[in-house]
Amino acid sequence: MLKIPSEYTADCAHPGKITTVPYGEKAFLLYTPVRPASHILYLIHGGGGDERTFFRPSFVHMVDHMIDKGQLEPLYIVTPCFYDPEQTDKSPGTSGKAVLKFQKELREQIVPLAEKEIGRHFDCTQRAISGFSMGGMTTWYAFMGSLDLFYWFMPMSGDCWALGEKGGGDKPEETAEAIVDAVKQQKAPDFRLYAITGSKDIAYPNLDPQMQALKRYSDIFEGKLRYDVLDGGVHDYETIFRYLYNALPVIFH
């Protein structure tokens, strides 16, 4: 896996624009690239984060540079927050419940509003969803219920808790079966799934067994599943930015 070039963390001469889009008591952020884009990524923070967590300067500069150098097709990036404003307990268990509840808000409010704000509709194959840790779990739940909305699913360093907290590690076979059943129940079961984590990540013991169990369903995943593990990769945003540096040019192709 390539490292992010050090000059990519500095300001870019042709930066995109970040705007705040309010809805109800909440807001999401929208990154609009310098050039018109035909793809959109919904990118979800980890436990304790919010809509601003992903858009720290080093990440935004990296995306600006990738687009500027032609390494990455321009894309919109939406960063919502899965917590309700009154939620103060952000422990994994409570976050897990928020993530589940958030699916409806994502479908009914965030996706329509983001695309209204941009002024164009995207079809399913032009939309991706990804996230880190609890945001990875958000991506798993979207995979289980929103194949009509998204085509690209990129969970990073988070397993699926459909069978309980850290279920991908404790019950990998059952978790994989629940995921596959959910996929089969949906009407448009076409997708690409690209999961990424690191060998030293706290989510690795949960995600890796789940991925090994999923891979065995070759009838569903043949040609549609990629799983990368960065040797030594840990559970932090800087490592996640490196995954995105490598993975963003792969998706939408």
Q: What tokens appear for 215 in the block? A: 């891979």
Residue listed under structure tokens 């309700």: 84
92 binds ligand FER (CB under 6 A): yes
Name which of residues 8 to 47 contact ligand FER (CB under 6 A): 46-47
| Contacts of residue 6, Cβ cutoff 8 Å, sequence gap at least 6 | none
| HSE value, Cβ hemisphere, 13 Å, CA-based, for 37 | 23
Partners of 198 in the β-ladder: 230
CA nearest to 18, candidates 71, 57, 66: 57
**Beta carbons of 44 and 135 less than 8 angstroms apart:** yes
Tell the smallest beta-carbon distance from residue 116 to ligand FER (Å): 30
203 binds ligand FER (CB under 6 A): yes
CA distances 125 to 81, 150, 192, 222, Å, are 23, 7, 10, 18
206 binds ligand FER (CB under 6 A): yes
Name which of residues 103 to 132 contact ligand FER (CB under 6 A): none
Neighbours of 233 (CB within 10 A): 22
Q: What tokens appear for 143 in the block? A: 């995979």
* Residue whose CB is less far from ligand FER, 53 or 133: 133
* Residue whose CB is less far from ligand FER, 39 or 166: 166
146 binds ligand FER (CB under 6 A): no
Strand order in the sheet with 17-23: 17-23, 26-32, 76-79, 40-44, 127-132, 152-156, 192-198, 225-230
The rounded distance, in Å, linking the Cα atoms of 53 and 47 is 10
CA nearest to 142, candidates 114, 171, 165, 162: 162
Tell the smallest beta-carbon distance from residue 14 to ligand FER (Å): 35
Q: What tokens appear for 79 in the block? A: 């960063």
Tell the smallest beta-carbon distance from residue 47 to ligand FER (Å): 2
Binding residues for ligand FER, rule CB under 6 A, total: 15
- 3-state SS assignment for residue 48: coil
Tell the smallest beta-carbon distance from residue 204 to ligand FER (Å): 8
The rounded distance, in Å, linking the Cα atoms of 60 and 78 is 12
* Residue whose CB is less far from ligand FER, 74 or 172: 172
Among the listed residues 53, 130, 133, 210, the single contact to ligand FER using CB under 6 A: 133
Tell the smallest beta-carbon distance from residue 140 to ligand FER (Å): 8
* Residue whose CB is less far from ligand FER, 26 or 235: 235
Closest chain position to ligand FER (CB) = 47
Tell the smallest beta-carbon distance from residue 240 to ligand FER (Å): 13
Among the listed residues 53, 79, 95, 146, the single contact to ligand FER using CB under 6 A: 95
> Which range of residues in 35-43, 78-86, 199-207, 226-234 is near ligand FER by CB under 6 A?
199-207
Interaction site with ligand FER (CB under 6 A): 46-47, 92, 95, 133-134, 136-137, 158-159, 166, 202-203, 206-207
